[in-house]
Amino acid sequence: MTQMPDREKFPVHTGGVENFDLESGRYMKVWQGPQHPGVTGNMALELVTSGDEIVDLKTHVGYLHRGFEKLMERRKWIQNFPLVCRICVPEPDFNEYLYAAATEELAGIEIPERAVWIRTLNLEMARLTSFLMWLGGQAGAFGMGTIGQWTVTMRDFMLDLFEELTGGRIYHMYIVPGGVRGDVPQGWFSHVLTTLKNVEKVLDDIELVLFNNAVFKKRAVGLGVITPDMVDYYGITGPNARASGVARDIRKDRSYLIYDKLDFDIITGISIGVDSDIFGRTRLRAAEMRQSISLIRQMIDKMPEGPVHVSPPNVLHWKIPAGETYLSAECTRGEYGYYIVSDGSDKPRRVYVRGPSYTHAVALFEHMAPGTNIADTAGLMVSLHTYPPEIER
Amino acid sequence: MVDLKALRAEMDKRYKVIEISEQRTDLAFLECDKIDVPDAVAYLRDHEGYVHLSFITCVDRLEDEQFEIVYMLRNHEKKHDLGVKTKIDRKNPVMDSMHNHWAAVATYQRELREMFGIEFPGSPGVNRPFALESWAGPPPMRRDFDTRKYSEETYFPRPGRETHDPAEHMKKTQYPGRADL
Protein backbone atom coordinates (compact mmCIF):
# COMPACT_ATOMS: atom_id res chain seq x y z
CA MET A 1 0.00 0.00 0.00
CA THR A 2 1.29 3.42 -0.87
CA GLN A 3 1.69 5.85 2.00
CA MET A 4 0.75 9.35 1.00
CA PRO A 5 0.18 12.15 3.49
CA ASP A 6 -3.40 13.06 4.14
CA ARG A 7 -2.85 16.79 3.89
CA GLU A 8 -6.43 17.65 4.82
CA LYS A 9 -5.90 16.82 8.46
CA PHE A 10 -2.82 18.95 8.93
CA PRO A 11 -2.93 22.60 9.98
CA VAL A 12 -2.60 25.21 7.26
CA HIS A 13 0.64 26.88 6.26
CA THR A 14 0.51 30.58 5.58
CA GLY A 15 3.47 32.39 4.10
CA GLY A 16 5.81 29.53 4.87
CA VAL A 17 4.98 29.65 8.57
CA GLU A 18 3.22 26.71 10.16
CA ASN A 19 0.21 27.37 12.37
CA PHE A 20 0.73 24.69 14.98
CA ASP A 21 -0.56 25.39 18.41
CA LEU A 22 2.23 23.71 20.33
CA GLU A 23 0.43 24.58 23.59
CA SER A 24 -2.53 22.40 22.65
CA GLY A 25 -0.69 19.24 23.63
CA ARG A 26 -1.38 17.65 20.25
CA TYR A 27 1.99 18.41 18.72
CA MET A 28 5.56 18.08 19.82
CA LYS A 29 8.66 19.61 18.29
CA VAL A 30 11.64 17.28 17.87
CA TRP A 31 15.06 18.16 16.51
CA GLN A 32 16.76 15.43 14.57
CA GLY A 33 20.34 16.51 14.06
CA PRO A 34 22.72 18.20 13.53
CA GLN A 35 24.41 15.41 15.50
CA HIS A 36 22.37 12.33 14.81
CA PRO A 37 23.32 8.99 13.27
CA GLY A 38 20.24 9.06 11.08
CA VAL A 39 21.11 12.29 9.32
CA THR A 40 23.49 12.33 6.38
CA GLY A 41 26.19 14.83 7.19
CA ASN A 42 25.63 17.89 9.33
CA MET A 43 22.06 18.89 8.75
CA ALA A 44 19.22 19.37 11.18
CA LEU A 45 15.60 18.42 10.74
CA GLU A 46 13.04 20.35 12.74
CA LEU A 47 10.13 17.96 13.09
CA VAL A 48 6.66 18.64 14.38
CA THR A 49 5.13 15.35 15.41
CA SER A 50 1.68 14.25 16.41
CA GLY A 51 2.14 10.97 18.22
CA ASP A 52 4.79 9.24 16.13
CA GLU A 53 3.59 10.78 12.90
CA ILE A 54 5.40 13.70 11.31
CA VAL A 55 3.12 16.61 10.48
CA ASP A 56 5.76 19.12 9.47
CA LEU A 57 9.44 19.10 8.61
CA LYS A 58 11.86 21.94 8.08
CA THR A 59 15.40 21.38 6.85
CA HIS A 60 18.07 23.47 8.54
CA VAL A 61 21.48 23.79 6.93
CA GLY A 62 24.46 25.98 7.73
CA TYR A 63 26.47 23.70 9.99
CA LEU A 64 29.00 23.12 7.23
CA HIS A 65 29.03 26.48 5.53
CA ARG A 66 32.59 27.33 4.59
CA GLY A 67 31.85 29.93 1.95
CA PHE A 68 33.48 28.10 -0.97
CA GLU A 69 31.92 30.33 -3.60
CA LYS A 70 33.19 33.45 -1.85
CA LEU A 71 36.64 31.92 -1.34
CA MET A 72 36.90 31.14 -5.04
CA GLU A 73 36.34 34.77 -5.99
CA ARG A 74 39.44 35.72 -4.01
CA ARG A 75 41.77 33.04 -5.36
CA LYS A 76 43.52 32.53 -8.67
CA TRP A 77 42.10 30.00 -11.12
CA ILE A 78 44.65 27.35 -10.23
CA GLN A 79 44.36 27.96 -6.48
CA ASN A 80 40.70 27.01 -6.68
CA PHE A 81 41.51 23.62 -8.11
CA PRO A 82 42.46 22.00 -4.75
CA LEU A 83 39.50 23.79 -3.17
CA VAL A 84 36.62 22.54 -5.30
CA CYS A 85 36.96 18.87 -4.38
CA ARG A 86 36.19 19.75 -0.76
CA ILE A 87 32.63 20.74 -1.68
CA CYS A 88 31.44 17.13 -1.76
CA VAL A 89 33.36 14.73 0.45
CA PRO A 90 32.16 11.30 -0.74
CA GLU A 91 32.62 12.05 -4.45
CA PRO A 92 34.98 14.96 -5.03
CA ASP A 93 35.85 14.02 -8.61
CA PHE A 94 32.75 15.54 -10.16
CA ASN A 95 33.74 18.91 -8.73
CA GLU A 96 37.25 18.56 -10.12
CA TYR A 97 36.01 17.52 -13.56
CA LEU A 98 33.39 20.26 -13.86
CA TYR A 99 35.71 23.01 -12.66
CA ALA A 100 38.51 21.85 -14.95
CA ALA A 101 36.22 21.40 -17.95
CA ALA A 102 34.54 24.78 -17.47
CA THR A 103 37.86 26.63 -17.20
CA GLU A 104 39.15 24.75 -20.26
CA GLU A 105 36.04 25.76 -22.19
CA LEU A 106 36.46 29.43 -21.26
CA ALA A 107 40.21 29.39 -21.92
CA GLY A 108 39.87 27.38 -25.15
CA ILE A 109 42.11 24.47 -24.15
CA GLU A 110 41.73 21.10 -25.90
CA ILE A 111 42.81 18.12 -23.86
CA PRO A 112 44.34 14.86 -25.17
CA GLU A 113 42.09 11.87 -25.84
CA ARG A 114 43.64 9.58 -23.24
CA ALA A 115 43.06 12.25 -20.58
CA VAL A 116 39.35 12.31 -21.49
CA TRP A 117 39.18 8.52 -21.10
CA ILE A 118 41.00 8.53 -17.77
CA ARG A 119 38.69 11.30 -16.54
CA THR A 120 35.64 9.23 -17.40
CA LEU A 121 37.15 6.18 -15.72
CA ASN A 122 37.85 8.28 -12.64
CA LEU A 123 34.28 9.59 -12.52
CA GLU A 124 32.75 6.13 -12.86
CA MET A 125 34.99 4.83 -10.08
CA ALA A 126 33.88 7.75 -7.92
CA ARG A 127 30.27 6.86 -8.70
CA LEU A 128 30.78 3.26 -7.62
CA THR A 129 32.63 4.33 -4.46
CA SER A 130 29.94 6.81 -3.50
CA PHE A 131 27.14 4.32 -4.14
CA LEU A 132 28.91 1.77 -1.93
CA MET A 133 28.87 4.24 0.95
CA TRP A 134 25.25 5.13 0.24
CA LEU A 135 24.10 1.50 0.11
CA GLY A 136 25.54 0.88 3.56
CA GLY A 137 23.77 3.99 4.83
CA GLN A 138 20.45 2.95 3.37
CA ALA A 139 20.65 -0.52 4.89
CA GLY A 140 21.88 0.94 8.18
CA ALA A 141 18.93 3.32 8.35
CA PHE A 142 16.66 0.29 8.45
CA GLY A 143 18.70 -1.51 11.09
CA MET A 144 21.02 -3.64 8.95
CA GLY A 145 24.40 -2.41 10.10
CA THR A 146 26.22 -5.46 8.78
CA ILE A 147 25.64 -4.44 5.17
CA GLY A 148 27.16 -1.07 6.01
CA GLN A 149 30.30 -2.80 7.20
CA TRP A 150 30.56 -4.85 4.01
CA THR A 151 30.11 -1.86 1.75
CA VAL A 152 32.53 0.34 3.69
CA THR A 153 35.12 -2.44 3.39
CA MET A 154 34.60 -2.53 -0.37
CA ARG A 155 34.72 1.26 -0.50
CA ASP A 156 38.10 1.09 1.21
CA PHE A 157 39.39 -1.24 -1.49
CA MET A 158 38.17 1.30 -4.06
CA LEU A 159 39.95 4.06 -2.11
CA ASP A 160 43.13 1.97 -2.31
CA LEU A 161 42.83 2.15 -6.09
CA PHE A 162 42.40 5.92 -5.92
CA GLU A 163 45.43 6.13 -3.67
CA GLU A 164 47.50 4.15 -6.15
CA LEU A 165 46.32 6.32 -9.04
CA THR A 166 46.36 9.77 -7.46
CA GLY A 167 48.16 9.59 -4.12
CA GLY A 168 45.05 10.64 -2.21
CA ARG A 169 42.29 8.51 -0.77
CA ILE A 170 39.43 10.95 -0.21
CA TYR A 171 40.43 14.11 -2.10
CA HIS A 172 42.21 13.14 -5.28
CA MET A 173 42.98 16.50 -6.92
CA TYR A 174 43.68 14.49 -10.04
CA ILE A 175 41.59 16.08 -12.79
CA VAL A 176 43.53 19.29 -13.37
CA PRO A 177 42.82 21.97 -15.97
CA GLY A 178 44.63 20.62 -19.06
CA GLY A 179 44.03 16.91 -18.50
CA VAL A 180 44.87 14.64 -15.59
CA ARG A 181 47.81 14.97 -13.21
CA GLY A 182 49.63 11.81 -14.17
CA ASP A 183 49.40 8.64 -16.20
CA VAL A 184 48.05 5.37 -14.87
CA PRO A 185 50.64 3.41 -12.84
CA GLN A 186 51.87 0.10 -14.21
CA GLY A 187 49.60 -2.81 -13.40
CA TRP A 188 46.88 -0.56 -12.05
CA PHE A 189 44.23 -1.73 -14.52
CA SER A 190 44.63 -5.31 -13.32
CA HIS A 191 44.21 -4.14 -9.71
CA VAL A 192 41.00 -2.38 -10.73
CA LEU A 193 39.65 -5.52 -12.39
CA THR A 194 40.42 -7.63 -9.31
CA THR A 195 38.71 -5.17 -6.99
CA LEU A 196 35.68 -4.96 -9.30
CA LYS A 197 35.32 -8.72 -9.13
CA ASN A 198 35.31 -8.55 -5.32
CA VAL A 199 32.81 -5.70 -5.31
CA GLU A 200 30.52 -7.67 -7.60
CA LYS A 201 30.68 -10.66 -5.28
CA VAL A 202 29.70 -8.52 -2.30
CA LEU A 203 26.95 -6.89 -4.36
CA ASP A 204 25.48 -10.35 -5.01
CA ASP A 205 25.48 -11.01 -1.27
CA ILE A 206 23.95 -7.63 -0.49
CA GLU A 207 21.17 -8.07 -3.01
CA LEU A 208 20.38 -11.46 -1.54
CA VAL A 209 20.36 -10.21 2.03
CA LEU A 210 18.79 -6.79 1.53
CA PHE A 211 16.12 -7.33 -1.10
CA ASN A 212 14.83 -10.54 0.48
CA ASN A 213 14.79 -9.15 3.98
CA ALA A 214 11.26 -9.06 5.38
CA VAL A 215 11.92 -6.03 7.59
CA PHE A 216 13.36 -4.00 4.73
CA LYS A 217 10.50 -4.97 2.44
CA LYS A 218 7.84 -4.16 5.03
CA ARG A 219 9.32 -0.77 5.80
CA ALA A 220 10.66 0.39 2.45
CA VAL A 221 7.96 -0.73 0.03
CA GLY A 222 5.40 2.02 -0.48
CA LEU A 223 7.34 4.59 1.53
CA GLY A 224 8.58 7.83 0.00
CA VAL A 225 6.94 7.58 -3.39
CA ILE A 226 8.01 10.03 -6.12
CA THR A 227 5.48 10.25 -8.93
CA PRO A 228 6.52 11.32 -12.46
CA ASP A 229 4.47 14.52 -12.24
CA MET A 230 6.56 15.63 -9.24
CA VAL A 231 9.81 15.43 -11.22
CA ASP A 232 9.63 18.77 -13.03
CA TYR A 233 7.96 20.77 -10.28
CA TYR A 234 10.45 19.69 -7.63
CA GLY A 235 13.45 19.72 -9.98
CA ILE A 236 14.23 16.06 -9.24
CA THR A 237 17.17 14.57 -11.13
CA GLY A 238 19.25 11.43 -11.09
CA PRO A 239 18.14 8.06 -9.68
CA ASN A 240 15.31 9.73 -7.73
CA ALA A 241 13.74 10.80 -11.02
CA ARG A 242 14.68 7.69 -12.97
CA ALA A 243 13.04 5.39 -10.38
CA SER A 244 9.73 7.10 -11.15
CA GLY A 245 10.13 6.09 -14.81
CA VAL A 246 11.48 9.36 -16.23
CA ALA A 247 14.38 8.41 -18.51
CA ARG A 248 16.76 11.31 -18.00
CA ASP A 249 20.48 10.88 -17.66
CA ILE A 250 22.92 13.66 -18.48
CA ARG A 251 25.48 11.04 -19.52
CA LYS A 252 23.15 10.24 -22.43
CA ASP A 253 21.54 13.65 -22.93
CA ARG A 254 24.70 15.73 -23.10
CA SER A 255 27.04 12.83 -23.88
CA TYR A 256 29.98 14.67 -22.35
CA LEU A 257 33.42 13.05 -22.09
CA ILE A 258 33.33 9.67 -23.88
CA TYR A 259 29.93 8.42 -22.79
CA ASP A 260 28.75 8.27 -26.42
CA LYS A 261 31.45 5.67 -27.13
CA LEU A 262 30.35 3.38 -24.31
CA ASP A 263 27.57 0.85 -24.43
CA PHE A 264 24.95 1.51 -21.77
CA ASP A 265 21.25 2.25 -21.45
CA ILE A 266 19.44 4.54 -19.07
CA ILE A 267 18.14 2.44 -16.18
CA THR A 268 14.67 3.50 -15.08
CA GLY A 269 12.18 2.13 -12.60
CA ILE A 270 10.15 0.82 -15.53
CA SER A 271 13.07 -0.92 -17.23
CA ILE A 272 13.93 -2.92 -14.11
CA GLY A 273 10.30 -3.23 -13.00
CA VAL A 274 10.27 -1.45 -9.66
CA ASP A 275 8.12 1.22 -8.06
CA SER A 276 9.51 4.61 -7.15
CA ASP A 277 9.53 4.01 -3.41
CA ILE A 278 12.58 3.52 -1.19
CA PHE A 279 12.77 -0.15 -2.11
CA GLY A 280 12.65 0.66 -5.82
CA ARG A 281 15.26 3.39 -5.57
CA THR A 282 17.59 1.01 -3.74
CA ARG A 283 17.10 -1.61 -6.50
CA LEU A 284 17.75 1.04 -9.12
CA ARG A 285 20.95 2.26 -7.49
CA ALA A 286 22.20 -1.30 -7.10
CA ALA A 287 21.57 -1.74 -10.84
CA GLU A 288 23.47 1.49 -11.54
CA MET A 289 26.41 0.17 -9.53
CA ARG A 290 26.55 -2.85 -11.83
CA GLN A 291 26.26 -0.51 -14.80
CA SER A 292 29.19 1.49 -13.46
CA ILE A 293 31.26 -1.68 -13.12
CA SER A 294 30.45 -2.58 -16.72
CA LEU A 295 31.42 0.92 -17.91
CA ILE A 296 34.76 0.75 -16.08
CA ARG A 297 35.51 -2.63 -17.73
CA GLN A 298 34.63 -1.24 -21.17
CA MET A 299 36.92 1.73 -20.64
CA ILE A 300 39.84 -0.42 -19.52
CA ASP A 301 39.35 -2.55 -22.65
CA LYS A 302 39.33 0.35 -25.07
CA MET A 303 41.69 2.82 -23.33
CA PRO A 304 43.75 4.62 -26.01
CA GLU A 305 47.44 5.43 -25.68
CA GLY A 306 48.94 8.90 -25.74
CA PRO A 307 49.71 11.94 -23.59
CA VAL A 308 47.48 12.71 -20.62
CA HIS A 309 48.12 16.40 -20.14
CA VAL A 310 48.64 19.64 -22.00
CA SER A 311 50.28 22.42 -20.04
CA PRO A 312 48.12 25.45 -19.48
CA PRO A 313 49.92 28.80 -19.60
CA ASN A 314 51.92 29.80 -16.50
CA VAL A 315 49.27 29.14 -13.91
CA LEU A 316 50.47 31.88 -11.59
CA HIS A 317 49.62 34.49 -14.21
CA TRP A 318 46.78 32.63 -15.89
CA LYS A 319 44.09 35.00 -17.09
CA ILE A 320 40.98 33.51 -18.61
CA PRO A 321 39.08 35.51 -21.26
CA ALA A 322 35.82 37.09 -20.18
CA GLY A 323 32.79 34.86 -20.60
CA GLU A 324 30.41 32.61 -18.81
CA THR A 325 29.46 28.97 -19.04
CA TYR A 326 27.42 26.30 -17.33
CA LEU A 327 28.52 22.68 -17.38
CA SER A 328 26.62 19.81 -15.82
CA ALA A 329 27.38 16.16 -15.23
CA GLU A 330 25.44 13.18 -13.95
CA CYS A 331 26.71 12.41 -10.47
CA THR A 332 25.29 9.68 -8.23
CA ARG A 333 22.54 11.97 -7.01
CA GLY A 334 21.61 13.76 -10.20
CA GLU A 335 22.56 16.94 -11.97
CA TYR A 336 25.79 18.42 -10.67
CA GLY A 337 26.72 21.68 -12.31
CA TYR A 338 29.22 24.52 -12.34
CA TYR A 339 28.29 28.00 -13.52
CA ILE A 340 31.45 30.04 -13.94
CA VAL A 341 31.71 33.70 -14.89
CA SER A 342 35.06 35.17 -15.85
CA ASP A 343 35.72 38.88 -16.24
CA GLY A 344 39.08 38.38 -17.92
CA SER A 345 41.15 38.64 -14.76
CA ASP A 346 43.27 36.03 -12.98
CA LYS A 347 40.44 35.17 -10.59
CA PRO A 348 36.93 33.95 -11.32
CA ARG A 349 34.21 36.56 -11.07
CA ARG A 350 31.61 34.12 -9.83
CA VAL A 351 31.47 30.36 -9.39
CA TYR A 352 28.11 28.82 -8.61
CA VAL A 353 27.88 25.15 -7.69
CA ARG A 354 24.61 23.43 -8.44
CA GLY A 355 24.19 20.37 -6.24
CA PRO A 356 21.22 18.03 -6.68
CA SER A 357 20.70 17.84 -2.90
CA TYR A 358 19.64 21.49 -2.93
CA THR A 359 16.17 20.56 -4.13
CA HIS A 360 16.08 16.97 -2.87
CA ALA A 361 16.87 17.78 0.77
CA VAL A 362 14.88 20.97 1.13
CA ALA A 363 11.83 21.39 -1.10
CA LEU A 364 11.26 17.72 -1.90
CA PHE A 365 12.02 16.30 1.54
CA GLU A 366 9.86 18.92 3.28
CA HIS A 367 7.04 17.85 0.98
CA MET A 368 7.51 14.10 1.39
CA ALA A 369 8.05 13.80 5.13
CA PRO A 370 4.60 14.80 6.47
CA GLY A 371 2.50 11.71 7.02
CA THR A 372 5.38 9.32 7.57
CA ASN A 373 6.43 7.71 10.81
CA ILE A 374 9.22 9.40 12.76
CA ALA A 375 11.25 6.17 12.66
CA ASP A 376 11.29 6.30 8.85
CA THR A 377 12.76 9.81 8.57
CA ALA A 378 16.34 8.57 8.40
CA GLY A 379 15.55 5.94 5.77
CA LEU A 380 13.57 8.41 3.70
CA MET A 381 16.31 10.99 3.85
CA VAL A 382 19.06 8.54 2.89
CA SER A 383 16.89 7.25 0.03
CA LEU A 384 16.93 10.76 -1.48
CA HIS A 385 20.75 10.59 -1.28
CA THR A 386 21.41 14.04 0.12
CA TYR A 387 24.79 15.53 0.95
CA PRO A 388 24.54 18.77 2.96
CA PRO A 389 27.87 20.36 1.88
CA GLU A 390 26.58 20.90 -1.64
CA ILE A 391 23.46 22.66 -0.31
CA GLU A 392 25.27 25.47 1.45
CA ARG A 393 28.68 25.42 -0.27
CA MET B 1 19.23 21.53 -31.53
CA VAL B 2 17.42 24.74 -30.76
CA ASP B 3 16.82 27.40 -33.39
CA LEU B 4 17.75 30.51 -31.41
CA LYS B 5 16.51 32.89 -34.13
CA ALA B 6 13.05 31.32 -34.04
CA LEU B 7 13.10 31.36 -30.24
CA ARG B 8 14.07 35.02 -30.26
CA ALA B 9 11.30 35.86 -32.74
CA GLU B 10 8.74 34.13 -30.53
CA MET B 11 10.05 35.87 -27.44
CA ASP B 12 10.20 39.27 -29.16
CA LYS B 13 6.50 39.07 -29.90
CA ARG B 14 5.75 38.94 -26.21
CA TYR B 15 8.61 40.35 -24.16
CA LYS B 16 11.44 42.81 -24.37
CA VAL B 17 14.46 40.64 -25.12
CA ILE B 18 17.70 42.59 -24.80
CA GLU B 19 20.17 40.00 -26.05
CA ILE B 20 20.45 36.33 -26.87
CA SER B 21 23.86 34.73 -27.14
CA GLU B 22 25.05 31.20 -27.81
CA GLN B 23 27.86 29.74 -25.70
CA ARG B 24 27.74 26.14 -26.97
CA THR B 25 25.27 24.29 -29.18
CA ASP B 26 23.57 23.12 -25.98
CA LEU B 27 23.83 26.34 -23.97
CA ALA B 28 22.52 29.85 -24.62
CA PHE B 29 21.92 32.97 -22.55
CA LEU B 30 18.94 35.25 -22.94
CA GLU B 31 18.77 38.66 -21.34
CA CYS B 32 15.39 40.13 -20.50
CA ASP B 33 13.94 43.20 -18.89
CA LYS B 34 13.42 42.73 -15.15
CA ILE B 35 9.67 43.24 -15.40
CA ASP B 36 9.29 40.52 -18.06
CA VAL B 37 11.29 37.77 -16.39
CA PRO B 38 8.59 35.90 -14.41
CA ASP B 39 6.29 35.79 -17.45
CA ALA B 40 9.09 34.95 -19.87
CA VAL B 41 10.27 32.08 -17.67
CA ALA B 42 6.70 30.80 -17.36
CA TYR B 43 6.32 31.04 -21.14
CA LEU B 44 9.57 29.14 -21.72
CA ARG B 45 8.46 26.47 -19.27
CA ASP B 46 4.93 26.03 -20.62
CA HIS B 47 5.39 26.55 -24.36
CA GLU B 48 9.07 26.03 -25.22
CA GLY B 49 9.73 22.91 -23.14
CA TYR B 50 12.16 24.39 -20.60
CA VAL B 51 10.53 22.44 -17.80
CA HIS B 52 13.50 21.96 -15.48
CA LEU B 53 14.98 24.68 -13.31
CA SER B 54 18.65 23.93 -12.66
CA PHE B 55 19.38 26.87 -10.38
CA ILE B 56 18.90 30.55 -9.66
CA THR B 57 21.93 32.62 -8.81
CA CYS B 58 23.24 36.14 -8.83
CA VAL B 59 26.38 37.82 -10.14
CA ASP B 60 27.40 41.05 -8.43
CA ARG B 61 28.28 43.66 -11.07
CA LEU B 62 29.67 46.11 -8.55
CA GLU B 63 31.22 48.45 -11.14
CA ASP B 64 27.87 48.87 -12.95
CA GLU B 65 25.93 49.17 -9.67
CA GLN B 66 23.83 46.19 -10.75
CA PHE B 67 22.97 42.66 -9.73
CA GLU B 68 22.61 40.11 -12.51
CA ILE B 69 20.16 37.34 -11.64
CA VAL B 70 20.46 34.14 -13.67
CA TYR B 71 17.71 31.52 -14.01
CA MET B 72 19.12 28.36 -15.62
CA LEU B 73 16.46 26.31 -17.41
CA ARG B 74 16.74 23.01 -19.22
CA ASN B 75 14.80 21.58 -22.11
CA HIS B 76 15.17 17.81 -21.75
CA GLU B 77 13.67 16.98 -25.13
CA LYS B 78 15.92 19.29 -27.13
CA LYS B 79 18.83 18.75 -24.71
CA HIS B 80 19.36 22.46 -24.34
CA ASP B 81 20.20 24.74 -21.41
CA LEU B 82 19.00 28.33 -21.41
CA GLY B 83 20.16 30.93 -18.89
CA VAL B 84 17.62 33.73 -18.51
CA LYS B 85 19.42 36.79 -17.18
CA THR B 86 18.20 40.11 -15.91
CA LYS B 87 19.81 43.12 -14.30
CA ILE B 88 18.41 44.85 -11.25
CA ASP B 89 19.44 47.99 -9.44
CA ARG B 90 22.05 47.26 -6.79
CA LYS B 91 20.99 50.13 -4.54
CA ASN B 92 17.38 49.00 -4.42
CA PRO B 93 17.59 45.24 -5.02
CA VAL B 94 14.03 43.98 -5.36
CA MET B 95 12.98 41.16 -7.66
CA ASP B 96 9.59 39.61 -8.35
CA SER B 97 9.15 36.30 -6.60
CA MET B 98 8.61 33.21 -8.75
CA HIS B 99 7.87 30.74 -5.97
CA ASN B 100 4.77 29.47 -7.76
CA HIS B 101 6.78 28.34 -10.80
CA TRP B 102 8.84 25.59 -9.16
CA ALA B 103 8.99 24.21 -5.63
CA ALA B 104 12.70 24.92 -5.13
CA VAL B 105 12.45 28.61 -6.10
CA ALA B 106 11.51 29.69 -2.57
CA THR B 107 14.72 28.12 -1.24
CA TYR B 108 16.88 29.83 -3.89
CA GLN B 109 15.22 33.17 -3.12
CA ARG B 110 15.80 32.67 0.57
CA GLU B 111 19.47 32.08 -0.09
CA LEU B 112 19.76 35.08 -2.44
CA ARG B 113 18.17 37.34 0.16
CA GLU B 114 20.64 36.18 2.76
CA MET B 115 23.79 36.15 0.62
CA PHE B 116 23.16 39.20 -1.62
CA GLY B 117 20.43 41.10 0.22
CA ILE B 118 17.97 40.90 -2.68
CA GLU B 119 14.36 41.22 -1.56
CA PHE B 120 11.68 38.91 -2.93
CA PRO B 121 8.40 40.24 -1.52
CA GLY B 122 5.80 37.52 -1.01
CA SER B 123 8.14 34.55 -1.22
CA PRO B 124 7.21 32.07 1.53
CA GLY B 125 9.65 31.90 4.42
CA VAL B 126 12.06 34.25 2.66
CA ASN B 127 12.99 36.00 5.90
CA ARG B 128 14.08 32.84 7.68
CA PRO B 129 17.87 32.45 7.77
CA PHE B 130 19.20 29.82 5.35
CA ALA B 131 22.82 28.96 6.15
CA LEU B 132 23.80 31.94 8.31
CA GLU B 133 21.85 31.83 11.53
CA SER B 134 22.38 34.93 13.70
CA TRP B 135 24.55 36.67 11.09
CA ALA B 136 24.37 40.40 11.69
CA GLY B 137 26.85 41.72 9.12
CA PRO B 138 26.21 42.81 5.52
CA PRO B 139 25.17 40.18 2.93
CA PRO B 140 28.44 38.27 2.62
CA MET B 141 28.42 37.32 -1.07
CA ARG B 142 28.43 40.96 -2.21
CA ARG B 143 31.69 42.00 -3.85
CA ASP B 144 32.19 44.90 -1.48
CA PHE B 145 32.17 42.61 1.56
CA ASP B 146 35.85 42.17 2.29
CA THR B 147 36.37 38.78 3.94
CA ARG B 148 39.97 39.50 4.87
CA LYS B 149 39.12 42.80 6.53
CA TYR B 150 36.22 41.18 8.36
CA SER B 151 38.33 38.33 9.73
CA GLU B 152 41.18 40.66 10.70
CA GLU B 153 38.77 42.84 12.64
CA THR B 154 36.86 39.96 14.19
CA TYR B 155 39.53 37.40 14.99
CA PHE B 156 43.01 37.64 16.47
CA PRO B 157 46.02 36.25 14.59
CA ARG B 158 48.07 33.51 16.20
CA PRO B 159 51.49 34.89 17.13
CA GLY B 160 54.29 33.75 14.84
CA ARG B 161 52.05 33.05 11.87
CA GLU B 162 53.04 34.53 8.52
CA THR B 163 51.21 34.71 5.23
CA HIS B 164 52.81 34.72 1.80
CA ASP B 165 51.59 35.96 -1.51
CA PRO B 166 51.59 32.68 -3.51
CA ALA B 167 53.16 34.15 -6.67
CA GLU B 168 56.00 35.83 -4.79
CA HIS B 169 56.56 32.85 -2.53
CA MET B 170 56.70 30.36 -5.44
CA LYS B 171 59.16 32.63 -7.25
CA LYS B 172 61.43 32.74 -4.23
CA THR B 173 61.32 29.07 -3.21
CA GLN B 174 60.62 27.15 -6.42
CA TYR B 175 62.23 29.22 -9.18
CA PRO B 176 65.03 31.30 -7.63
CA GLY B 177 66.83 33.47 -10.14
CA ARG B 178 64.21 33.15 -12.88
CA ALA B 179 63.60 36.68 -14.09
CA ASP B 180 61.03 35.71 -16.74
CA LEU B 181 58.32 34.74 -14.27
Tens-place pLDDT, residues A325-361 = 999 999 999 999 999 999 999 999 999 999 998 999 8
Q: Which of residues 234-263 of A touch B (CB under 8 A)?
A: 234-235, 237, 248, 253-254
How distant is the Cα of B118 from the closest Cα of chain A, in angstroms? 17
> With an 8 Å Cβ cutoff, are A235 and B104 in contact?
yes
H helix and E strand count, chain B: 5, 5
Does A164 have pLDDT greater than 90?
Answer: yes
Reference A232, options B104, B98, B111, B155; nearest CA is B104
Chain A residues in contact with B29 (beta carbon < 8 A): 324
Tally of helices (H runs) and strands (E runs) in chain A: 15, 8
Exposure string for A170-207, b = 16+ CB within 10 A, e = fewer: ebbbbbbbbbbbebbeeeebeebeebbeebeebbeebb
- Residue range A64-88: average pLDDT? 89
pLDDT tens for B35-72 read: 999 999 999 999 999 999 999 999 999 999 999 999 99
Residue A312, pLDDT > 90, answer no
**Is the pLDDT assigned to residue A14 strictly greater than 60?**
no
The predicted structure's pLDDT at residue A5: 55
- Are A257 and A116 in contact, with CB atoms under 8 Å apart? yes
Span A355-381, pLDDT tens digits: 998 999 888 988 888 888 888 888 898
In this predicted structure, what is the pLDDT of residue A39?
65
The structural domains of chain B, with segments of one domain joined by +, span 4-157
Return the pLDDT at A16. 54
Q: Which residues of chain B have a Cβ shorter than 8 Å from any chain A Cβ?
A: 23-24, 26-27, 29, 51-55, 57, 59-60, 70, 72, 76, 79, 81, 83, 102-104, 106-108, 123-126, 128-133, 140-141, 143, 147-148, 166-167, 170, 181
pLDDT at A7: 58
For B121-173, what is each residue's pLDDT tens digit? 988 888 888 888 888 888 999 998 888 888 888 888 788 888 888 888 888 88
Best probe of the A interface among B44, B52, B141, by most A CBs < 10 A, is B52
What's the pLDDT tens digit per position in A186-221?
Answer: 999 999 999 999 999 999 999 999 999 999 999 989
| Domain B4-157 CATH superfamily | NADH:ubiquinone oxidoreductase Nqo5 subunit (3.30.460.80)
Query: What's the distance, Cα to Cα, between the start and end of chain B in Å?
Result: 45
Which among A333, A359, A360, A368 is the top mutation candidate for probing chain B, defined by the most B β-carbons within 10 Å of its own β-carbon? A359
**pLDDT tens for each residue of A214-238:** 999 999 898 889 999 999 999 999 9
Question: What is the ipTM, given to two decimal places?
Answer: 0.89
Mean pLDDT along residues A40-56: 85
Q: B166 and A237 in contact by Cβ < 8 A?
A: no
| H/E stretch holding A95 | helix A93-107
Instruction: Output the pLDDT for position A1.
Output: 44
Element (H, E) at A183: none
Q: What are the structural domains of chain A?
A: 7-60 (no CATH), 68-392 (1.10.645.10)
Closest by CA to A57, choosing from A386, A393, A389, A390, is A386
